[in-house]
Structure 1
Amino acid sequence: MHVSGTIQPRAPHQTRLNRNHHTTTGHRRGPYVPREFVHRPFIDDILVTSWRRHDDSRFSLTAQWPHDHGYFTPVHGRHHLILTGESIRQAGLLLCHTELGVPVGHHFILGDLVYTTHPEHLAVGRGPTQLTIDVNCSRLRFRAGALTSGYFAMAFRKEGRIVATGHSDVTVTSPAVYRRIRGDRLTARRTLGPLPTPVPHQLTGSAHDSDVLLSPTDRPDRWQLRIAPGHAAMVNPANDHIPGMLLLDAAQQAARALTAPQTFVPYAFGTEFRRYAEHGTPCVIEARRIPSALPTTTTVQVTGTQDGEPVFVSSLTALDARA
């Protein structure tokens, strides 16, 4: 189970949009949507750029993937796999706040995040990649006009061609409920101090050692999570737990480290979150190859545990280099 980080609103009038907004046909506020609606403190990390309502369950959004992001650097000339997952996360948050009645300041528990990409259509160009995202919402539940849970299925298109599909399911809690859930963990923050030695960044596909989220142990298939200081897209000092997107990045780094020196560039990524990843407790990351459902592919399963309890389970699949 994972709760996304939250950003407090800059002004009271942004804490909740009137659901009469549903009658509008589209929105755009400059080149980016407000940071509060996607829970990102820096504009450079905002990927979704506009949204449009079709009916009570169908929406279209636009997104822009940078070709030179400071953290999500391209891999073999193609966009970083995590950009799809982060776009799904941002698209769901945006719709919850703007169209589904969720006030800014509420918390989102992400049950799973699953997506498949077509990397041959996601080559990085000289400028940003423009995308459209079609969203179909189902299993929506409301209380007092605000969403409490829902399932978001998404299809990404580039120049009209589907380049990725995915889904997530989300539960929403009020600040009061979140305080009861978290208890004395609510004030937990990442402790600054010396970090354990990183795995060489070449093994994880990272651009620099400062981006590596894994520290070696006495086993080649097991690592300790290290909270890399590389970029605020992954590290938010305000979070009372380790962000789920950081765990996704740690999973893909572990899959690459396990399969090295083979080139492992996953196109499919599925994660189930079991519980919060807490600050101040070692998080053990383990990876193993598992049977793949498709020929000429390799699948790696990555698990994260704290105090012997599962935090998340991810499966990543890549085409074999010989395919």
Structure 2
Amino acid sequence: MGARTVGHRQTITRELVHKWSIDEVFITDFEPISEDRMALGAQLPRAHGFYCEYPLQNRQPDLALLVEICRQACFVVAHQQFGVPVEGNNYQFLFQELDAELVNKRPLDTTRPVNAVVDSTVERVWKRGNMVSGLLWRFVMQANEEKLAVIRIRMTWIERTKWREMREFMRRGRSLPSELKMPDPPTTSLTPQEVGRVNPENIVLADLSYGDEVSTATIRADIGHPVLFDHPIDHIYGMVQLEAARQLAVATISRRTGTPASEIRMTACATSFTSVAEFDLPTELRARVGSADDPAKKHLGTPLTIEVSQQGRVASRFDLHARMD
């Protein structure tokens, strides 16, 4: 997978993956293969405050963690292969599409660190004038010489000065002040066990209710969360929405099947992000499930569709697959 084997001795510089905290960097190395291909190294944490709350002995990896690793790889490729400047942090990157699937659902041997290799291929390039402004990536992730996942991500980016102008225009159109005053996160009565979590600070849902065909909730976005909000940002970005959708899916399936939420795993996700989600507007999630007379277990292994919206405007849509451990 390239001219040399990518290493796993240390993580790369945090600026390349847009992180402030060193402990949130999962990429360990990278090596260009051709104009549109790159090999990257990554190490899957065996314990992590957000991605790996449960002991990982002989467990399959968290798909959201693999998505985050590939999201970090997007930044490396954009900066190192396509010339997007790192210095000055002058570009805002925006998640547009995600298609992720666990290929190997067998548990990993986590008695030692799990070193992964990510094969990145750029499938399409978008330009604004002569400048590259977006990419579509296909990532194939392997560990222990076995394929773990195939993940496609589409991102675009824009100069921050233009982004600020766009955001002011957006917020005026939504009857919001041009300058964001960050609200306190909503409280939640949910327990970690209901959404497959251990730490209550990792709950990103509030106001969860169940119906025969639809489950609903609101997003609880806490900017003090050290993983989800590693650094300041002016909107509820894609990974927060992904986690909220996953928690709603897990809670819904658990309620309908009687399966403990901790035993339900997201195995595939197809997502489109269509609008910027604001911190200072209620963010609603609606999960469509089958009719009341459908066998509950049907929803393990079939898509559960979740829409994230504000003021009736759809911000994102998720088609999730899940299964029991």
TM bucket, shorter chain: 0.7 to 0.9
Contact 1:198–1:212, Cα closer than 8 Å, also in 2: no
Q: Is residue 297 of structure 2 the alignment partner of residue 312 of structure 1?
A: no
The answer on whether the counterparts of 2:289 and 2:305 sit within 8 Å (CA) in structure 1 is: yes
Written as runs of structure 1 = structure 2, the 5 A alignment for 1:164-179 is 164-179=149-164
Task: Map 1:138-153 to 2 at 5 A.
Answer: 138-142=123-127, 146-153=131-138
Change (3 A) 1:127 1:44: farther
Q: Over residues 101-159 of structure 1, what are the superposed CA-to-partner deviations in whole Å (9 max), with x where a residue is unaligned?
A: 11132111221111101353452613431100001112223468752111100100112
Counterpart amino acid of 1:152? W
Q: Distance in 2 between matches of 1:29 and 1:165?
A: 21
Q: Given the alignment, which residue of 252, 261, 283 partners 2:246?
A: 252
Equivalent residue for 2:174?
A: none
User: Percent of aligned positions with the same letter in both sequences?
Assistant: 23
Runs of 4+ in structure 1 deviating by more than 6 angstroms, as ranges, are 24-30
Distance 1:29 1:207, change over 3 A: closer
TM-fit CA distance, 1:190: 3.0
C-alpha separation in 2, matches of 1:99 and 1:176: 24
1:225 match: 219
- After superposition, the Cα gap between the structure-2 partners of 1:81 and 1:28, relative to the gap in structure 1 and judged at 3 Å, is closer
- Contact kept, 8 Å, 2:32 with 2:38, in 1: the verdict is yes
Unpaired segments ≥5 residues, structure 2: 172-177
> Could you tell me which residue of structure 1 aligns to residue 24 of structure 2?
45
Does 2:278 align with 1:271? no
Q: Determine if contact 1:96/1:147 at 8 Å carries over to the other structure.
A: no
Report the secondary structure of 1:87's partner residue. helix
Q: Output the CA distance in 2 between the equivalents of 1:29 and 1:187.
A: 42
Trace 1:1-323 onto structure 2 (pairs within 5 A).
Answer: 31-73=10-52, 77-104=59-86, 105=89, 106-118=91-103, 120-123=105-108, 125-142=110-127, 146-183=131-168, 187-188=179-180, 190-191=182-183, 193=184, 195-217=186-208, 219=210, 221-228=215-222, 231-236=225-230, 238-260=232-254, 261-262=258-259, 263-289=263-289, 297-319=301-323
Q: Secondary structure at the match of 1:120?
A: coil
Distance change in 2, residues 1:242/1:272 (3 Å): same
Alpha-carbon offset, residue 284 of structure 1 = 0.6
Task: Spell out, residue by residue over 1:302-321, the C-alpha distance to the aligned partner (whole angstroms, 9 max, x if none).
Answer: 11110111011111112367
TM-score for both structures, normalised by structure 2: 0.82
Partner SS state of residue 297, structure 1: coil
Does 118-127 or 281-290 show the bigger shift?
Answer: 118-127
RMSD in angstroms over aligned alpha carbons?
2.8
The count of residues paired between Structure 1 and Structure 2 equals 295
How far 1:51 sits from its partner (Å)?
0.7
> In 2, distance between residues paired with 1:64 and 1:189?
37
Unaligned stretches of 5+ in structure 1?
Answer: 1-23
Question: TM-score, normalising length from structure 1?
Answer: 0.82
Instruction: Decide which moves more: 116-125 or 133-142.
Output: 116-125
